Structure 1
C-alpha cells in the first residue's frame, strides 16, 4: 500500500482543487462576481417565474472586463447595492459600470452597522441551530423593508408585462449584498413565496448559494478572519464559524418560512405590513413576474 507523508496530507498543494463556478441554470458565469444567478425559472402555482428580469449575486468589486460585458449583455440597467456604508468603504468602494446605474439601497443604516452590532449578527449567523439565524433574518426583513419596496416598485414602473409588445426590451435589475446569500437570499426567498413558488423550491433556491459561493468561499472566510471574527474561540473554531456564516442551510430557510407565517401570517402579510405594498401593486408584480409554464412535449 502506498503511504502518504503527513506533511503532504496537510499541504495546501495536495488538497482538492477549488470547485469551478456552477454553470447550470439559474447560474451564469460572470467573471469576478460569484453566486450570480437569475431568480426566474422556478415553477409557480400558476405558471413559472419569468426569466431575465431580476438577477442576484455578490458584490461587483472584483468584476472583470468580460464580466462587465456579460452584465451588459443580460440587459441589466440597474444595480441595487444592499451593503452598508462601512462595508463598502472597507472593501475599497464600489465599481462604476458603464450603462448600469448603481442605486445604493442599504439594508442597515450607519447606526445599525456598528462593530458591536456586526459582531452580534456574526454570532447569530454562525450559531449551531436555526433560532439565531432566523433572528438575524427577521432583522434583515424589517430593516430592509423600505429598500425592498424601492426595488419592487422599480420593477412595477419599468418592466412591461409579458403581454406587452416591447417585452423583449425589458430592463433587467441586479440585486446584491456582499456574498448574496443572507441579505439578498432572504429577500429573494420572500419574493418567490409571494409569487407562489412552493416552499421546498424556495429552500432549494436559497441553498444554491452553497454551490455559488464554493469557488470563493476561502476569500470570504479569510476576509472575516482578518477582521478578527470569532478570534476569542481559537483559530479552528473561528474558521468553522466563518464557514457557517457564508453557508446557506436548508433548515435556516425552513425556520424563516415558519417565522414569517407566525409573525405576518405569510409572505403577503409581510409585503403589505412591512414593505407597504398595496393589493394592486402585489397583483402587478404577479402579472409581471409570472408567465405561463412551458408546454411539455
Structure 2
C-alpha cells in the first residue's frame, strides 16, 4: 500500500505532465521505499520558468531519458541548467537505430493505426519486447549501475522519463520497485496513477485532430485511446517478459548481488 498521501505523491507542475514520486510504498521485509528520491515524469521539453526552481531543488543526480533519438532531437530536454550535478542517460545509437527517422510508435501511428485493436496489439507487443530490446536493456543496466555506484552521489535521486511518462517509464519504474520489494499490487497501482495524474480524455480529441491533419487520413479518438492511456495488461506483458526480477537483473542486466544489496540499502528506509 502507499505510505504517503496522493497529494504528496503527485507533483502538479504546470509545465511537466505526469510528474510523481514512485517511492513511498512498502518494500522488502516491510521497509518503506524512501520518498523524495525516486521520480518519474513525461518529457521535459516544455519545462517553463515557473517550475525550474522547484525541479532544480530536487536531489536528482541521474536523469534517465528513455526516448528514442528522433524524439530527443525534436523535443530536447530542458533539464534545469543549474543542475550540472545530474548525469543524463540515454539509449545508445548504433546500427539500424541510426537510420531511423521517427520513433517506432510514431511510425506505427502513421502507417498502421486504424482501430483500437491495432493500438492495443502494438502496445502489448511493445511492452512484451521492451525488457529484452538491446537499447532498453543497456539503458536499464546503466541506470541500476548508476544507482548503485561504489561512491554514493551527493544527489542520489533519480528521474525516469520518456515522452508521456507511462509506458517505457512504467517498465523501468516497475523493475526498480520490484527489486526494492514492492508488491505486484502496489507496482500496478503506481503504474495506473497516470489515469489520475493526467486528463487523458482532454488530450485525445486535439491529438486525433493533429494526427488526422499530419497523416492525411482520419485518426479517431477511440483508435488512439489505448496508446494514450494505461491498461493493466500492458504492464503485465513487461512483467511477464522479465519474469523473476532478481534473476532478470542478474542474468540479463548484469547486476551483481552486492549491487542489489546496495540498491536496497540506499533506497529503503
1:250 aligned to which of 209, 223, 232: 232
Does structure 1 residue 205 correspond to structure 2 residue 190? yes
Uncovered stretches (5+) of structure 1, i.e. residues with no partner? 1-21, 161-166, 292-297
Give yes or no for the alignment of 1:155 onto 2:147: yes
Q: Equivalents in 2 of 1:68, 1:230: separation in Å?
A: 32
The match for 1:175 among 151, 156, 160 is 160
Question: 1:209, CA displacement in angstroms?
Answer: 1.1
Deviations for 1:210-250, whole angstroms, at most 9, x for unmatched residues? 12222x66457645753459969844xx3222222121112
Aligned to 2:125: 135
Q: 1:127 to 1:67 in 2, by over 3 A?
A: farther
Out of 81, 105, 115, the residue aligned to residue 118 of structure 1 is: 105
Alignment RMSD: 3.3
Aligned pairs for 1:1-297 within 5 A: 24-46=7-29, 47-91=31-75, 93-100=76-83, 101=86, 103-106=88-91, 111-112=96-97, 113-115=100-102, 117-118=104-105, 127=117, 132-143=122-133, 144-157=136-149, 160=152, 170-214=155-199, 218-219=202-203, 222-223=206-207, 226-227=210-211, 234-235=218-219, 238-261=220-243, 266-291=244-269
Tell me the TM-score normalized by structure 1: 0.73
Query: Deviation of residue 171 (structure 1)?
Result: 3.5
Deviations 1:148-182 (A, max 9, x none): 1222222212885xxxxxx9x64422111111000
Aligned residues: 255
The 2-side partners of 1:48 and 1:66 are apart by 32
- The 1:281/1:78 distance shift into structure 2, 3 A limit, reads closer
Q: Displacement of 1:106 after TM fit?
A: 2.5
Q: Which stretch shifts more, 176-185 or 106-115?
A: 106-115
Tell me the distance in 2 between the aligned counterparts of 1:110 and 1:94. 24
> Could you tell me whether the CA contact under 8 Å between 2:170 and 2:235 is conserved in 1?
no
Larger radius of gyration: 1
User: Secondary structure in 2 aligned to 1:175?
Assistant: strand
The Cα of 1:254 is off from its aligned counterpart by 3.1
Compute the TM-score of the two structures, normalised by the length of structure 2. Answer: 0.79
